[in-house]
Structure 1
Amino acid sequence: MNVPKIVPIAELRDTKHVLQMCRAAKEPIIVTKNGYGELVIMSIATFTEMTEELNRLRKQVAKDSTY
């Protein structure tokens, strides 16, 4: 398992840098506020990949549970 990328909320001010991080990470980035997880950001490509994988797994579980 990969170590998640964690950034403080102050970094969101630099939108260009945040966009570059999201595209390069290819996984969700955890944003913290006062040291605690506050939100998660990711690129559309990462979101699409994760959603497709989740749907594939749901279909597999549904298929496997019918037997």
Structure 2
Amino acid sequence: MPEDEATGSAAVHLAQFHGRPITIRQGRGSVITARPAEQTGWSEIGGRVVADGQRSVTLAA
């Protein structure tokens, strides 16, 4: 499963908390932009991410 190096879940909360657009640069080139939406309590998010390789995960039965 390919992984990206950026995380957006906190970005939407930060944009709401601060009430303004924010830009987050993370890792080797990922950029996330988030801003409060016109609808109260909502945020918009977008950006670009850089692939961070693949990882194998084995779940215990």
- Please indicate the TM-score interval, normalised by the length of the shorter structure: 0.3 to 0.5
**Which structure has more RCO (C-alpha within 8 Å, separation ≥ 6)?**
2
More helix by share: 1
More strand by share: 2
TM-score by length of 1: 0.33
TM-score by length of 2: 0.35
